[in-house]
Amino acid sequence: MAPPLTPLSAKGISVALDEDCGLLAAFTVERPGAPIRPLARVPWADDLPDCEAIRTAPHLARMSGDFFCAPFGPSDFIGGPPHGAPANGRWRLLTRETLPDGARAVWELGNTVLGARLLKEWRLIDHHPVLYQAHVFEGGTGEISLAHHALIDVARGARLSLSPRAFGETPEMDLDASDDFRSAILRYPAHFADLAHVPLMAGGTADLTRLPVAPRHEDFAMLVDQVPAPPPGTLAWAAVARLATQDAVVLVKPAALLPETMLWFSQGGRQAPPWSGRHSGVLGVEDACAYSIHGHAAAIAENPLSRAGVPTSIRLCGRLRIPYAICALDLGEGEGSDSLAVEVGPDHLLLTDAAGRRIETPFHAGWFAQG
């Protein structure tokens, strides 16, 4: 059965939501020649295997693009599927409208999250190659971890650049007991200051900015923006330059609300169904307020990050808005450099590289204002 997709479009960009699990099922930015379609979709989406993993976590059936998690990771405090109701429940369209400068849609999650109503808002603006998103909690009681879960297609090679981060670490876990990470090549646990020099289990280091890192593996790392957490209004970014297609994905987040970034390197290392070694060439960039991979209970308890002044959960009270943006840019032809820097201005986003290329696009930074 085809998923219930809701399309939304403006001049130069089109997107679609899979309402079953709130998945970004399509994201296309027009350009001369081939359009930019940079986000990944699981290879079994159109031929679903019958397996326990999908019954436990429905979002795995057609996982694609980006989705919102609350909590992030195991739902081990209130119960429920991994990544919570927003990533596994049904969303209902409340409004979809064409505006003088683009389009807007709003959905409501069929479940509550710790008693809170959750809304998803998408905004497209003509000639902006950007999906502006916001998730709004209304009411509720208690603390929740959360994250965006963007999935980028890096199968043909890519380079990862980030705004400054304080440090990174891999979590402590029993790799022998983990079906997901038995093929891991990084050292667990490990602390690192430079994403280009991350300790390997076998000795030496790996450069996690150059993808793929290895032919077949599954690995996870957490980056922390700033200690203590950055002040409200601070924007952070991640940029992925895709070499073969000469395009780049830029993810922009409010660093005070999402002070960590989780990196998931999926290169055919998971063997249990539905993965079966088929999920490869995908980079997950998961901007979060969470404590690594450890789940809801660990995120709301005191932990090393929270003791250092870096939030790993958010308290629900009244109205809470989480803005986010996904941008796709044409890098043009030429050699260029694979090291990128991003500047976010009030009405533009500027991408530069070490070779001197400058690519500017309209960008609505006001989307990140709270209110």
Confidence of residue 1 (pLDDT cuts 50, 70, 90): low
Confidence of residue 335 (pLDDT cuts 50, 70, 90): low
The sign one gets for the Cα dihedral 50, 55, 61, 63 is: negative
Confidence of residue 336 (pLDDT cuts 50, 70, 90): low
So what's the pLDDT on residue 356? 84
- d(Cα 244, Cα 217) in Å, to the nearest integer? 22
Name the helix (H) or strand (E) containing 254: strand 247-254
So what's the pLDDT on residue 333? 77
The sign one gets for the Cα dihedral 263, 268, 269, 272 is: positive
Q: How many CB atoms lie within 10 A of CB 264?
A: 17
Q: Is 113 exposed, middle or buried (0-12, 13-18, 19+ CB in 10 A)?
A: buried
List, for residues 239-248, the tens digit of each pLDDT value.
999 989 999 9
Residue 114 pLDDT > 70: yes
Please give the backbone phi and psi of residue 5, each rounded to the nearest 5 degrees, phi first.
-95, 140
Residue 108 identity: E
What average pLDDT score do residues 55-67 get? 96
Domains, in order of start, for the chain: 5-368 (2.70.98.10)
List, for residues 173-198, the tens digit of each pLDDT value.
888 777 789 999 999 999 999 999 99
Degrees (nearest 5) of the Cα angle 115, 148, 42?
Answer: 115
List, for residues 67-90, the tens digit of each pLDDT value.
999 999 999 999 999 999 999 999
C-alpha count within 13 angstroms, C-beta hemisphere, residue 313: 24
- d(Cα 178, Cα 318) in Å, to the nearest integer? 39
Cα-trace Rg, the chain: 19
The first and second tokens of residue 239, run together, are: 């940029």
Q: Is 138 exposed, middle or buried (0-12, 13-18, 19+ CB in 10 A)?
A: middle
So what's the pLDDT on residue 332? 85
